[in-house]
Amino acid sequence: MRVTVERRLRQPRWLAVAVPAGSLVFAFGVAAIVLVATGHDPVSSYRQLFDAAFVSTGSLDQTLIAATPLAFTGLAAAAAFRMRIFNIGAEGQLYMGAITGAAAGLYLGGRGGPSAFVIAAMVVAGCAGGAAWASISGVFRAFFGTSEILTSLMLNYVAGYVLTYLIFQSESYWRQTKGFNATVFPTGKPLPSSAVWPGLTVHAQGGIVLPLGAGLAVLAAVVLWALYRRTRFGFEVQVLGDSAGAARYAGVRTRRKILAVMAISGAIAGLGGVSQDGDFRHALDGDPNGLQKQAYGYSGIVVAALGRYNPFAVVLIAFLIGGLDNAGNTLQGADFPSGLVGVIQGIILFSALGGELLVRHRVRVVRRASAVAAAPPAAAPEASP
Amino acid sequence: MTRRKLALAAAAFVIAGAAAVLALGTSPGRAKSNAAFKVAWIYVGPHNDGGWSQAHDEGRQYVQKMLGSKVQTTYKENIAVGAQLQQTVASLVSQGYKMIFGTSYGFFDKALAAKYPNVLFEQATGTDVAKNLAEYFGRAEDTVFLSGMAAGAAAKCNTIGYVVAYPIPEVIRHANAFALGAQVMHPGVKVRLVWTNSWFDPAKEKKAAQSLVAAGACVLGQNVDSPATGQYAESQHIPWVGYDSDASKFAPKSWLTASVYNWGLYYLRRVKAAMNGTWKPGFYYGTINDGFTKLAPYGPGVSAKAKAAIAKKEKQLENGSWYEFQGPLYDQSGKLRVKKGVRMQVLKGGTNSLYGMNWLVKGVIGSPKG
């Protein structure tokens, strides 16, 4: 008996629904075994998880805070991965966007410009910072054929050190230097009030603030969808992703496309960075235990894969994973180790990603008898049972 | 188009499925009675990190043990500053926690305290005080100085390695105190620093220890949270001075001693005050005399002579006839920073205060900027 995995010729519609649902049920089943083995009631744990993510007072507010950066980094990854440009550098591009965006906010806000103008300038600066950082990898890939996976990954570390340098190791423009508190622990200079992004408060669940960043993420998803589905540029990018050789033969300018896709991907990640400044932190966070420990850029790759690179699905998945993230903080405690929370989150993500295989492939158990019937005996190796 | 719809439908199905699974379960009724006063701790690393966070968690357990069913305590571990911290505080407040201890700088500020006016916040190592926000810490520099004496006495070469977290006054004053202590027992000894830019990062700490040994250090010390430095010291058969907690079990042969904290006494006092309504915000700076900080039990590598010298200095610290940060103190370049007879204050004195110190004493190799 053999087990083979083969590509599906047709992908039935129901599979796209059944597979994620099945994966989730499977994940909850496996996680339940872990929970029971460690002496926890799985049903009440799941209920708490769900409550803390989406139901209890203030939970959606907190879930949005976790989801917003993931939506940006997810979109950044999706934008590049579609063309088979593997930009692993959303992490560093997010830092760079946070740095340039904060510079714009501090400078223009400090000079007393109107808030709308300051915020618009921050958005532009954040996109530019992320795009410029991503373009380093883009240029190397387009002109020298250097793997963008390696360069973008390594540039993440460089960006992290730049961030640490600006706040911890120098008295830079971004660092708060006034007041006694500034000497106790280095922090970013607070943004002037005109550079703090407004949120839309919804009076439900004890007040849910829709951050401006969340709106921009949805807008970015719409623009990305339109770009890839409704323009010649998008079509050419799709063709390049499917078959680079065919695209070149058809006269698509490959270098330009690589540069453009990297820049777009970096710009979206950079927007995520400036949203961290404007929406949530209200300063440039250079603490390795702060922004850098969250690893939004890497999580975004998982978000993009689960969303099958579809911009709208990416935003939705970011929301769900944001909920999972947020719930993890609520669930852990003296009687529930944070490691166990990580195990459960890991099982859920792993199952969901693993299940994706089944959408495009099918697993077939081939009985020896039928294998013999299908092929001459010489071709069937003696497999151990 | 259809793929998008399908993806959305799939996600909706997933949510519905999850809701169904949860709805099937029985309601998990609140087990604890409402009478218990709920207190939470937030840690920057794991609760059993073998160092800083573990010392705080021992304090939490002490409170739970002393007050029994009158309190309900919990902790949140590995919490990063920013979104994760905000979420953690929000969920603790909504679960009815009335008092929260944040054990790392940057966790709480006046804005956060103002957002939850009915919750009492206490933060270790900071300076922000508000109506419902207090700060606490203590003179670990005194005991770090004593542990530096043990390191100096054990050093057979002229370089001691010291693994340090962030280039901030707290860490700088501990490094200075450590170096001053080592110099008492071993005049002219150099203390070499390597920064990790993290409170808890065992991999980086081990690498730092390796590079210090490669640079000639024959004794290691640390101002980071994990015992990774000690484990490396054990593998190299060289003495090690820990920090925060008694971590001798991680390196039984290398272990000399460590400056350790007893947070429990403070926590118990503050929780009791919160329960009977006498809690007031303030800035607490504990001492050896308070029982707040002390030296951990010695390991096999501390000589009788060193023990006697340390005991003598400890007595003098207790009765105030000795203070490591009393002038004359010189910086790395040999410039006189603190004049003869002048004692450094905790908050007053700018860069010549314990909370503002941004320069390293003579004999320390490394940059105070990281």
Dihedral over Cα of B147, B152, B153, B156: its sign: positive
Residues B134 and B100 in one domain: yes
Beta strands in chain B (DSSP E): 37-42, 71-76, 99-102, 120-124, 133-138, 159-164, 190-195, 219-223, 240-244, 255-261, 283-286, 293-295, 329-330, 336-338, 364-365
The confidence band for B28, taking pLDDT boundaries of 50, 70 and 90, is: very low
Whether B127 maps to a domain, the answer reads yes
Residues B84 and B190 in one domain: no
Whether B111 maps to a domain, the answer reads yes
Whether B103 maps to a domain, the answer reads yes
Could you list the residue range(s) of the whole structural domain that residue A302 is in? 66-319
The confidence band for B20, taking pLDDT boundaries of 50, 70 and 90, is: low
Mean pLDDT of chain A: 91
Per-residue pLDDT at B154 exceeds 60: yes
Per-residue pLDDT at B32 exceeds 60: no
Residues B211 and B80 in one domain: no
Residues B98 and B213 in one domain: no
Nearest CA in chain A to B57: A334
Total domains present in chain A: 1
Per-residue pLDDT at B22 exceeds 70: no
Whether A124 maps to a domain, the answer reads yes
Q: What percent of chain B has pLDDT over 90?
A: 87
Whether B105 maps to a domain, the answer reads yes
Cβ distance B15 to A320 less than 8 Å, yes or no, reads: yes
Whether A217 maps to a domain, the answer reads yes
Whether A14 maps to a domain, the answer reads no
Cβ distance B14 to A285 less than 8 Å, yes or no, reads: no
Residues B62 and B180 in one domain: no
Instruction: Write down the pLDDT at residue A301.
Output: 96
B321-343 tens-digit pLDDT: 999 999 999 999 999 999 999 99
Instruction: Write down the pLDDT at residue A146.
Output: 95
Q: What's this model's pTM, rounded to 2 decimal places? A: 0.88
Residues B193 and B240 in one domain: yes
Least confident of B62-66, B91-95, B212-216: B91-95
Q: What is the DSSP string of A281-333?
A: ISS----TTTHHHH-HHHHHHHHHHHTTT-HHHHHHHHHHHHHHHHHHHHH-B
Segment B242-265 shows an average pLDDT of: 96
| Closest Cβ opposite residue B22 in set A47, A58, A312 | A47
Whether A57 maps to a domain, the answer reads no
* Residue numbers in B near A281 (CB within 8 A): 82
Residues B270 and B245 in one domain: no
CATH code, A196: 1.10.3470
CA atoms within 13 A on the CB side of A241: 18
Single-letter amino acid code for the residue at B249: K
Whether A105 maps to a domain, the answer reads yes
Per-residue pLDDT at B280 exceeds 90: yes
Instruction: Write down the pLDDT at residue A7.
Output: 85
Residue B327, chain A, CB below 8 Å: the answer is no
Total domains present in chain B: 2
Residue that wins the pLDDT comparison between B192 and B7: B192
CATH code, B219: 3.40.50.2300
Could you list the residue range(s) of the whole structural domain that residue B271 is in? 37-138+263-286
A178-235 tens-digit pLDDT: 888 888 888 999 999 999 999 999 988 878 999 999 999 999 999 999 999 999 999 9
Residues B162 and B191 in one domain: yes
Whether A229 maps to a domain, the answer reads yes
Instruction: Write down the pLDDT at residue A9.
Output: 81
Whether B25 maps to a domain, the answer reads no
The confidence band for B14, taking pLDDT boundaries of 50, 70 and 90, is: low
Residues B281 and B155 in one domain: no
Integer Cα distance of A292 and A286 in angstroms: 8
Whether B183 maps to a domain, the answer reads yes
Residues B131 and B193 in one domain: no
Angle of helix A311-331 relative to helix B83-94, nearest 10 degrees?
Answer: 60
A331-380 tens-digit pLDDT: 999 989 999 999 999 999 999 999 888 888 888 888 765 544 444 444 44
Cβ distance B4 to A329 less than 8 Å, yes or no, reads: no
Kindly give the parts of chain A with pLDDT less than 70: 368-385
| Closest Cβ opposite residue B80 in set A48, A52, A293 | A293
Per-residue pLDDT at B160 exceeds 90: yes
Cβ distance B86 to A164 less than 8 Å, yes or no, reads: no
Instruction: Write down the pLDDT at residue A288.
Output: 87
Residues B53 and B187 in one domain: no
Instruction: Write down the pLDDT at residue B171.
Output: 97
Cβ distance B369 to A329 less than 8 Å, yes or no, reads: no
Whether A21 maps to a domain, the answer reads no
Instruction: Write down the pLDDT at residue B79.
Output: 94
Residues B75 and B122 in one domain: yes
Whether B5 maps to a domain, the answer reads no
| Closest Cβ opposite residue A294 in set B80, B106, B167 | B80
Per-residue pLDDT at B30 exceeds 50: no
The secondary structure of chain B in percent helix, strand, coil, rounded to multiples of 5, reads: 40, 20, 40
Q: Which pair of tokens denotes residue A48?
A: 């708490």
Whether B18 maps to a domain, the answer reads no
Q: Buried b / exposed e across A216-228, counting CB within 10 Å, b at 16+?
A: bbeebbeebbeeb
Tell the burial category of B73 from Cβ atoms under 10 Å away from its Cβ (0-12, 13-18, 19+). Answer: buried
Q: What is the ipTM of this complex?
A: 0.86
Instruction: Write down the pLDDT at residue A358.
Output: 84
CA-based nearest distance B155→chain A, Å: 31
Cβ distance B355 to A330 less than 8 Å, yes or no, reads: no
What distance lies between CA A306 and its chain's CA centroid? 10
Instruction: Write down the pLDDT at residue B1.
Output: 45
